[in-house]
Structure formats: C-alpha cells, structure tokens
Amino acid sequence: MNKLKIILSLIIALSLCGCSVLKSKPVVVIGSVNNDQNTFVAEIMAKLLEDKGYKVTRKFNLNESELYDDLVNKKIDLYPSYLNVLYQDVLGHKDFSIGKKKYNLVKEELSKKNVICLQRFAASKSFGIAIRTELSKEYNIMKISQLKKYSTKFRFASNTHYFNDEFGEKLFNKHYGQLKWKSVKTINEKQEEDILDYNLADVMACDVSNGRLEKNGKVLKDDKKIFRDYNNIVPLTRKDVIVNVSDLKDIYSHLAKVMSTRQLREYTARFSDEYQDYDAVSNRFINEEL
C-alpha cells in the first residue's frame, strides 16, 4: 500500500512539473548573408541562444535577396537584416527616412505579414567617410567636418551608389557642404577595400562597418550624425518562433544596445589582420563586451 502511495505521489508530481522537465527546447535555424559583418553577428546570436540551452542550426553565406523569403517559408527562423534593406527592398519604400520613425514603420508593416522585427542594433551598415591613416594623423582629422579645410589636397573616391543615392553625396552636401577635392574617382564596390591600402585615393566614401578598412584607413566620426541610424542591424524572425522561443527578445536586447558600429568594424577586422575565424572572434566579443 505504501509503495502504491509513493508511485501515485510520483505520478502526480511528474504531472505537475513534467511539461517543463520533459519538453525540450526547439531547434532554431539562423541564417546570414555572405559577408564578414553579417556572419559575425549571426554567430554571436547563435552562441547566445546556445548559452540559454537552445540547439542552433547555422545556415550562413546565403544570398541576401533570398533570406527574407527563406524566413517567410520557414527554411530559417532568424537572421540579422538591415533597416534600409527592409524599408526599400522588402517593403518597397523609395523615399529617404532615418532613425526610430523608419524602424517603427518597418516593424508595423512586417508585423502584418507575421514577421517580427527584434530590437534594432546601435550598429549600422551605413555610408561614412574614411581617410588614409597617415593623413588623419598628419592633419589631425578625426571627424568629417574637419575635412573641409584640407579637401583640395585630397583625392576622393567612391562607388556610384554614393554619388547617385539620396542618402549619399546629396545628404552629405546638405549637412557638411559641397567639398572641393583635388580629384574625384568612381570605383566599383569590389575595389573599395584596396583603395586606401594601395594609395589609390586619400579619402573615400565607405561602408563604415567594413573591418577591412582598419588596416590603412581611419573612419571619420560622423559628427552631425546624418548616416548613423540609416541602416541599423535589425534581426528578423516570425511570430511562431517567438511563441516557441519566448525569451528570444530578451536574449538579444543587451546585444542590440551594446554593439556599436565601431565595435563591429574593429572586431571583424581581426578576420584578416589576425587570421581569426568567426568562432574565435565572436567568443572574444561576448567575453569582452557582453
């Protein structure tokens, strides 16, 4: 009789807590674009999930144009996207917008499609201006506004996006004034990483999150903050994933606040400068910054 009571007690206890004990956490599939910055962020996101007991399947180096469809079609559950990519390429907006207003609009419109925007990162994949390191030191140029005094001494280079887009040269001239350069050169995006390294130009418009610029370039501070919140990192997921991974938003909230564009650039520079892999550099970021 006593044995029966013990067995019944165990059954009742298991029925009360069994759901939480027996139910395993779901596997989360994380995707990323084929570039250093996006893969680095995705790897950190994967590790933070694993630290919370989730199993993660990584699908990295995917085509950027297919990531959103892969998310909607449940081929992946989560990936780090970019605010302006969502605003223009996914939602079809053509006007210029920036900051919290832009993020809230994207968040609201995607929610209607059962797609959830997690907290936007401080880090942004936006236009900026870089100068050769030796010239930055020689002329004591640390921020964009200081270029005006010396611009006629410098050769300028950029890709066609900067010259043609509303958020490029037009925005720059509106806030910093039109600078007179010694010469102006148009380059393709594949040439960007070599321009300053091989002294083919002195100043260039660039992606400020690109770690490869750290070798021989100095990214200047955008002291008027015109580019900063244009193309922030925004992780995307679906509503059904949020239901199954209820603490997903909390897991990434601190990361979103902490990771700056400068950190993103400096840490990804270690892939080429120190020949470290994504696993090593992401671990270093987590240990040093979070």
Q: 116: domain CATH number? A: 3.40.190.10
Amino acid letter, 132: R
Segment holding 235, helix H or strand E: strand 233-238
SS3 for 184-214 is EEECCHHHHHHHCCCCCCCEEEEECCCHHHH
**Residue 142 lies inside a defined structural domain of this protein:** yes
172 contact partners, CB below 8 Å, separation of at least 6: 127, 129, 205, 226
Q: Is residue 60 a part of any domain in this protein?
A: yes
Same domain, 104 and 134: no
Is residue 3 over pLDDT 80?
no
Residue 168 has pLDDT above 60, yes or no: yes
Residue 143 and residue 114 in one domain: no
Pairing relationship of beta strands 127-132 and 217-219 according to DSSP bridges: antiparallel
Residue 19 lies in a domain: no
User: Under 8 Å CB-to-CB from 158, ≥6 apart: which residues?
Assistant: 168, 169, 185, 186, 187, 204, 205
Which pLDDT score, from 0 to 100, does residue 28 have? 98
pLDDT at residue 188, as a whole number: 84
Query: CB neighbours (10 Å) of residue 228?
Result: 18
Most confident of 51-55, 186-190, 266-270: 51-55
Output the pTM of the full model: 0.88
Say if residue 83 is in the same domain as residue 107. yes
Average pLDDT, the chain: 90
The packing angle between helices 261-268 and 278-289, to 10°, is: 140
Assess whether 146 and 166 both reside in one domain: yes
- CATH code for the domain in which residue 183 is found: 3.40.190.120
**Do residue 237 and residue 120 come from a single domain?**
yes
Mean pLDDT of 63-85: 95
Centroid of chain to Cα 97: 18
The answer on 110 and 251 residing in a single domain is yes
**Do residues 276 and 135 share a domain?**
no
Instruction: Tell me the per-residue pLDDT of 90-100, one tens digit each, with 9 for 90 and over.
Output: 999 988 888 99
159 and 278 fall within a common domain: no
pLDDT of residue 102 exceeding 70, the answer is yes
Distance CA 227, CA 21 (A): 48
Q: CA-to-CA distance for 98 and 30, rounded, in angstroms?
A: 27
Same domain, residue pair 113 and 235: yes
Sheet holding 203-207, edge to edge: 183-186, 155-158, 203-207, 127-132, 217-219
pLDDT over 60 (residue 21): no
* 4 in any annotated domain: no
Among 196, 219, 242, the domain-final residue is: 219
On the question of pLDDT at 190 being above 80, the answer is no
Q: In this structure, are 32 and 68 located in the same domain?
A: yes
Residue 98 shares a structural domain with residue 177: no
Instruction: Kindly state the average pLDDT of the residues 219-248.
Output: 94
Q: Is residue 179 part of a domain?
A: yes
Confidence (pLDDT) at 23? 62
Confidence at 275, pLDDT banded by 50, 70, 90 = low
| Structure-token pair, residue 115 | 């797609």
The count of C-alpha atoms lying within 13 angstroms of the C-alpha of 130, restricted to the half-sphere facing its C-beta, is: 32
Q: Which of 4-8, 134-138, 209-213 bottoms out in mean pLDDT, i.e. has the lowest?
A: 4-8
State the pLDDT at residue 231: 94
Contact by Cβ (8 Å): 253, 119:
yes
Please report whether residue 225 resides in a domain: no
* CA 276 – CA 118 distance, rounded (Å): 29
Provide the domain limits for residue 243: 24-124+230-289
Q: How many domains does the chain fold into? A: 2
Q: Is residue 106 part of a domain?
A: yes
pLDDT on residue 212 = 85
Say what the pLDDT of residue 84 is.
94
**pLDDT over threshold 80, residue 172:** yes
3-state secondary structure of 228: coil
The tokens 């509106």 sit on which residue? 174
Where among 192, 219, 246 does a domain terminate?
Answer: 219
Amino acid at 87: Y
Q: What is the mean pLDDT of residues 260-268?
A: 94
Percent of the chain with pLDDT over 70: 90
Is 51 in the same domain as 171?
no
What is the pLDDT, as a whole number, of residue 91?
Answer: 97
Q: Is residue 139 part of a domain?
A: yes
The tens digit of pLDDT for each residue in 4-20 reads 555 556 555 545 554 44
Residue at a domain's end among 165, 190, 219 = 219
How large is the average pLDDT for residues 140-162? 95
SS3 37: helix
